[in-house]
């Protein structure tokens, strides 16, 4: 399971997701792909994540759909109820709002409400991320909505190997998984994972070891955290970095072990701070480590505002390496 | 109406047996609630029995059905066992869903009853996916989605009809038009003169039938089933009917036109159907009395079975959220 990447040729996150889909489809003919523009006559999606799949596996298994988010998720749910493993693309995360009934009321609950008679092994792929001047309606991080919904699982890879391994795990998983892709880091290169590489859901990765503070993050902000670590080292602060990989269910064991060692924690994510994933982790840590923490658990996300359009505002919106370093260092100095 | 699909005498009798079961079950449900033996939200389907009875008769056990909160008639028609049904609506461990679904969320895959949804308009997108599965497997199974007239004003209805038509899915959209959505009349909420007209926008046949007439309803159902099995795609059936007891059991009906309601109840489709069987010599009074008595006995048994069944243990609170051993 934890096979290290052996393939020397670097790949991007985008290519890794494409390979994961292709490999899963080749191994299991119940895996289907559907969504707006996903087939090859439509160019395999807006950025080409699903390119080549319909040519290789046929348009019966890779279907471009109308712009009908409810119908897309509904079709995925229905097909999963009769033995298929559909991967449904919702072009951008903001458009999941249009399909919330299908996701929250149906996909997440059918196992429970049916007393375990039916289940919904679907993957919902979606992408988001600031940095493209898209403004308020095209780049929100809404992961907390889904993590808050019992019955859903939520994953967000930060590098190509994890992107591949988490996708394979999500497709194999018996329950609905929301798979969040990050637009600005689609072209980030990294080591290619071996075919069949699986990153188990619910298992975090210690991206860097350290002693003074634990920084928990995921998706693109993880890259910023790794950038922050250098500035912190220059300031004499050693950070341990945890890439959550799965947001729900999150890997308490790994995070607890790290915080037990460092006594401090900062959670950094792109979504607005208020009511976010950081709040859940912080509350859990305060309960677990009350009296042992050397500083209050810190949270760093976006301000409580929609994503702005204007360049300097947008640049100030998501946590950057500099801001993360500043907040993390303060947590180790002020307390 | 084409006679090709008219039910023969045996088929008609079969439809009646289902209708009699549905009527008796609704009457018992209301009685059990009124006497305080069970507490549940109950959406009476009394008056609408012929529609699912005829539809289910046109299907096989293997076919699929996705229904809504007002759908117990659909499920009984499709073959959900009475004991399992009653235990579920009583919230007991022997229910179809271990008591965790309740009357609005019944599931019984063994008979193709895949989803019951409490969200207006949500039966259709999921029915499409099941039908897509059948299309991919080439197994000839048909999927029926039932819903009310009010649901045809929800976006999901339009998305679903469009997708089903573009993909030529073996699905039947069966609207039970009882002229009200909650307390609002059809005319106040729906711009289309007839729900069936909406099919034209999606390039599929749209038929309006008297859903209370078993011959007409069965013929429409058979035609749609044959179309779906032949790979010719979806059909929208608007089955006209009327619900006798308000939206949710206990509502005061003040919003309903009393004359219209009285006329509908005077034209109760069940006794009319019963009289027809006798008039046409398909069944004798004695035969029908015997069938009806047997149904009452079966319901007695189911109610007692349900009330004697245990409540689920508290461990069920967090079970089935995820697959066993995959707990968050
Ligand atoms: C999306 C949604 N909105 C509102 C409701 C509340 N509600 C429950 S039933 C109903 C009326 C639906 O009428 P119709 O579709 O005609 O079906 P009927 O109850 O007449 O069978 C409403 C508004 C709901 N369950 N779901």
For residue range A87-144, list pLDDT tens digits in order: 999 999 999 999 999 999 999 999 999 999 999 999 999 999 999 999 999 999 999 9
Around Cβ B291, how many Cβ atoms within 10 Å?
15
Check pocket membership of B73 for ligand 1, CB cut-off 6 A: no
In which element (H, E) is residue B217 found? Answer: helix B214-229
Q: Is A119 a catalytic residue?
A: no
Nearest to A115 among B98, B143, B166 (CB): B98
Domains annotated for chain B, with CATH where assigned, are 9-306 (3.40.50.970)
Decide: A242 and A206 in contact? Cβ < 8 Å.
yes
**Tens-digit pLDDT profile for residues B32-56:** 999 999 999 999 999 999 999 999 9
Pick the residue with more confidence: A136 or A4?
A136
Three-state DSSP at A319 gives coil
**Tens-digit pLDDT profile for residues B125-158:** 999 999 999 999 999 999 999 999 999 999 999 9
Closest residue in A to B317 (Cα) is A112
- pLDDT bin (cut points 50, 70, 90) of residue B250 is confident
What pLDDT is stored for residue A48 in this prediction?
Answer: 96
Structure tokens that stand for A237 in this block: 């602060």
Check pocket membership of B180 for ligand 1, CB cut-off 6 A: yes
- pLDDT bin (cut points 50, 70, 90) of residue A7 is low
Decide: A90 and A72 in contact? Cβ < 8 Å.
yes
Beta pairing class for A246-248 and A153-155: antiparallel
Is residue A5's pLDDT more than 60?
A: no
Check if the interface score ipTM surpasses 0.90.
yes
**Tens-digit pLDDT profile for residues A252-295:** 999 999 999 999 999 999 999 999 999 999 999 999 999 999 99
**Tens-digit pLDDT profile for residues B82-93:** 999 999 999 999
Distance between alpha carbon A267 and the CA centroid of its chain, in Å?
15
The answer to whether the Cβ–Cβ distance between B128 and A74 falls below 8 Å is: yes
The reply to whether A11-190 and A205-332 are identical in fold is yes
* Mean predicted lDDT score pLDDT of chain A: 96
Is residue B328's pLDDT more than 90?
A: no
Nearest Cα to Cα of residue A281 among A205, A333, A215, A223:
A215
In which element (H, E) is residue B320 found? Answer: none
Around Cβ A4, how many Cβ atoms within 10 Å?
9
Handedness of CA B41, B21, B128, A81 (dihedral sign): positive
Class of the CATH-defined domain A11-190:
alpha beta
Beta pairing class for A298-302 and A265-272: parallel
Which CATH number, 3.40.50.920, 1.10.760.10, 3.40.50.280, 3.30.2130.10, labels domain A205-332? 3.40.50.920
Q: How far is the CA of A326 from the centre of ligand 1 (A)?
A: 53
Judged by a CB distance cut-off of 8 A, whether residue B64 touches chain A is yes
Check pocket membership of B41 for ligand 1, CB cut-off 6 A: no
What pLDDT is stored for residue A9 in this prediction?
Answer: 77
Decide: A71 and B125 in contact? Cβ < 8 Å.
yes
Mean pLDDT of A220-241: 97
Q: Which residues contact B157 (CB under 8 A, 6 or more apart)?
A: B121, B124, B147, B151, B198
Around Cβ A260, how many Cβ atoms within 10 Å?
12
Handedness of CA B212, B214, B220, B224 (dihedral sign): positive
Q: How far is the CA of B190 from the centre of ligand 1 (A)?
A: 13
The interaxial angle of helices A321-333 and A220-234, nearest 10 deg, is 50
Decide: A121 and A173 in contact? Cβ < 8 Å.
yes
Mean pLDDT of B175-183: 97
Q: Which residues of A touch B107 (CB under 8 A)?
A: 110, 113-115, 117-118
Closest residue in B to A152 (Cα) is B322
Judged by a CB distance cut-off of 8 A, whether residue B161 touches chain A is no
Judged by a CB distance cut-off of 8 A, whether residue B322 touches chain A is yes
| Letter string b/e over residues B74-113, b meaning 16 or more CB atoms within 10 A of that residue's CB | bbbbbbbbbbbbbbbbbbbbbbbbbbbbbbbbbbbeebbb
For chain A, what are the domain ranges? 11-190, 205-332
The answer to whether the Cβ–Cβ distance between B133 and A82 falls below 8 Å is: yes
Judged by a CB distance cut-off of 8 A, whether residue A118 touches chain B is yes
What pLDDT is stored for residue B325 in this prediction?
Answer: 72
- pLDDT bin (cut points 50, 70, 90) of residue A3 is very low
Tell me if the bond preceding B105 is cis, omega within 30° of 0: no
Handedness of CA B289, B290, B295, B301 (dihedral sign): positive
Structure tokens that stand for B280 in this block: 């046409």
What pLDDT is stored for residue A8 in this prediction?
Answer: 57
């Amino acid at each position: 399971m934890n096979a290290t990447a052996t393939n020397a040729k670097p790949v991007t996150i985008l290519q890794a997701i494409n390979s994961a889909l292709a490999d899963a489809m080749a191994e299991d003919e119940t895996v289907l792909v559907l969504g707006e523009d996903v087939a090859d006559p439509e160019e395999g999606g807006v950025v080409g994540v699903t390119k080549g799949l319909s040519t290789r596996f046929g348009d019966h298994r890779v279907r471009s759909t109308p712009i009908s988010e409810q119908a897309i998720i509904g079709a995925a749910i229905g097909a999963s109820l009769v033995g298929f493993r559909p991967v449904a693309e919702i072009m951008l995360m903001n458009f999941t709002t249009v399909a919330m009934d299908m996701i929250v009321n149906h996909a997440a609950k059918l196992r429970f409400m049916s007393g375990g008679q039916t289940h919904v092994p679907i993957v919902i792929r979606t992408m988001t991320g600031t940095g493209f001047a898209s403004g308020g309606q095209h780049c929100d991080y809404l992961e907390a909505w889904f993590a808050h919904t019992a019955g859903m699982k939520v994953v967000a890879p930060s590098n190509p190997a994890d992107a591949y391994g988490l996708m394979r795990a999500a497709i194999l998983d018996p329950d609905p998984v929301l798979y969040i892709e990050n637009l600005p880091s689609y072209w980030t290169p990294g080591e290619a994972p071996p075919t069949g590489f699986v990153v188990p859901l619910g298992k975090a990765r210690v991206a860097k070891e350290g002693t003074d503070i634990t920084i928990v993050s995921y998706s693109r902000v993880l890259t910023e955290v790794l950038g922050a670590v250098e500035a912190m080292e220059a300031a004499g602060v050693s950070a341990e970095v945890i890439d959550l990989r799965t947001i729900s269910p999150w890997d308490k064991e790994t995070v607890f072990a790290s915080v037990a060692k460092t006594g401090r924690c900062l959670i950094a994510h792109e979504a607005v701070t208020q009511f976010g994933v950081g709040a859940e982790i912080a509350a859990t840590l305060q309960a677990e480590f009350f009296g042992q923490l050397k500083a209050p658990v810190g949270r760093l996300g976006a301000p409580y505002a929609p994503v702005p359009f204007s360049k300097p505002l947008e640049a100030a919106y998501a946590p950057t390496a500099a801001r993360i370093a500043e907040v993390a260092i303060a947590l180790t100095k002020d307390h | 109406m084409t006679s090709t699909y008219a039910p023969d005498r045996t088929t008609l009798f079969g439809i009646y047996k289902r209708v009699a079961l549905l009527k008796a079950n609704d009457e018992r449900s209301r009685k059990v609630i009124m006497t305080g033996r069970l507490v549940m939200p109950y959406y009476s389907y009394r008056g609408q029995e012929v529609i699912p009875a005829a539809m289910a008769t046109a299907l096989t056990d293997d076919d699929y059905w996705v229904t809504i909160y007002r759908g117990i008639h659909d499920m009984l028609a499709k073959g959900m066992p009475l004991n399992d049904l009653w235990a579920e609506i009583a919230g007991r461990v022997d229910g179809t869903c271990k008591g965790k679904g309740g009357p609005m969320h019944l599931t019984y895959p063994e008979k193709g009853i895949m989803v019951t949804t409490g969200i207006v308009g949500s039966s259709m997108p999921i029915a499409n996916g099941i039908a897509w599965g059948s299309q991919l497997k080439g197994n000839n199974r048909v999927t029926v989605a039932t819903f009310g007239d009010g649901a045809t004003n929800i976006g999901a209805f339009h998305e679903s009809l469009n997708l089903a038509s573009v993909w030529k899915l073996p699905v039947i959209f069966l609207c039970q038009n009882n002229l009200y959505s909650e307390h609002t009349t059809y005319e106040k909420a729906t711009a289309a003169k007839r729900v069936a007209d909406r099919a034209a926008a999606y390039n599929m046949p749209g038929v309006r039938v008297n859903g209370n007439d078993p011959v007409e309803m069965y013929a429409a159902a058979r035609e749609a089933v044959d179309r779906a099995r032949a790979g010719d795609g979806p059909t929208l059936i608007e089955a006209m009917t009327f619900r006798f007891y308000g939206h949710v059991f206990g509502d005061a009906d003040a919003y309903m036109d009393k004359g219209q309601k009285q006329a509908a109840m005077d034209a109760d489709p069940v006794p009319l159907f019963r009289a027809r069987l006798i008039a046409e010599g398909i069944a004798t009074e004695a035969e029908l009395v015997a069938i009806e008595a047997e149904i009452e006995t079966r319901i007695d048994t189911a109610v007692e079975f349900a009330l004697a069944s245990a409540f689920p243990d508290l461990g069920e609170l967090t079970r089935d959220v995820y697959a066993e051993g995959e707990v968050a």
